[in-house]
């Protein structure tokens, strides 16, 4: 049986009461670089998003889950995106909002749970992640979780007036 919880955290679907958490996260310019966001989101737009968050991954090609502590505090988000059931692959992205919650195993446990779900329930062959070359913390995390660097996308992200390289990581379900 696949479970979406561990000793430290659990993953759950978005709920209507996540509006304020989502509003703060999506409008945090510190995470725009990794999310590709270029403009703020209104609460109205995010409310509409939450109202449609129940839609199936096979329909919208994305699954967004909230990472929660055992005392139900939202800590971040973890996503499957660009879901491609024909080729049995999806991208994986994660953000832990507060720096005080990073480097405590929360990201690793979240990735492990979602990888297990993707491979066992969705029957995917592979997951991939796109990580900025300068993001040493994320590179270490994904390597620790069994993802392998398979290439560098040169000058892939334009941010703060300069181009940055992005590394493509891949994890195969063998």
Show me where the domains of the chain are located.
Answer: 9-130
Tens-place pLDDT, residues 83-141: 999 999 999 999 999 889 999 999 999 999 999 999 999 999 999 999 999 999 999 99
What pairs with residue 164 in β-bridges?
157
| Average pLDDT of the segment spanning 6-27 | 93
* Paired tokens of 69: 């502590």
Task: Give the pLDDT of residue 81.
Answer: 97
State how beta strands 63-69 and 74-84 pair. antiparallel
- Greater confidence (62 vs 1) lies with 62
pLDDT of 1 above 60: no
Residue 12: pLDDT band (50, 70, 90) is: very high
Band (pLDDT 50/70/90 cuts) for residue 147 is very high
Long-range contacts, 47-51 (Cβ 8 Å, 24+): 47/19, 49/22, 50/14, 50/15, 50/16, 50/18, 50/19, 50/22, 51/16
pLDDT of residue 174: 82
92 burial (CB, 10 Å; 0-12 / 13-18 / 19+) is: buried
Question: Which residue blocks in 5-72 are alpha helix, DSSP H?
Answer: 19-26, 32-35, 43-51, 57-60
Residue matched to tokens 């499957």: 80
How many angstroms separate the CA atoms of 139 and 16, rounded? 33
Please tell me what DSSP assigns to residue 107.
Answer: H
Helix (H, G, I), strand (E, B) or coil at 17: helix
Comparison of pLDDT for 142 and 54, the residue scoring more: 142
* 9-130 is classed CATH 3.40.630.30: yes
In angstroms, what CA-CA distances link 121 with 4, 68, 90? Answer: 11, 21, 13
**104 and 9 Cβ atoms separated by less than 8 Å:** no
pLDDT at 2: 64
């Amino acid at each position: 049986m696949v479970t979406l919880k561990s000793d430290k955290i659990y993953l759950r679907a978005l709920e209507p009461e996540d509006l304020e958490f989502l509003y703060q996260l999506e409008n945090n310019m510190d995470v725009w670089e990794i999310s590709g966001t270029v403009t703020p989101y209104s609460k109205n737009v995010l409310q509409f998003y939450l109202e449609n968050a129940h839609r199936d991954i096979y329909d919208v090609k994305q699954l967004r889950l909230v990472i929660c502590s055992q005392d139900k505090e939202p800590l971040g988000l973890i996503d499957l995106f660009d879901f491609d059931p024909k080729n049995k692959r999806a991208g994986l992205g994660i953000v832990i909002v507060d720096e005080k919650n990073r480097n405590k195993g929360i990201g690793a446990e979240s990735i492990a749970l979602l990888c297990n779900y993707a491979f066992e329930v969705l029957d995917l062959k592979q997951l991939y992640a796109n990580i900025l070359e300068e993001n040493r913390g994320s590179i270490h995390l994904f390597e620790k979780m069994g993802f392998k660097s398979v290439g560098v996308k040169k000058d892939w992200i334009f941010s703060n007036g300069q181009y940055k390289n992005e590394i493509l990581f891949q994890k195969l379900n063998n």
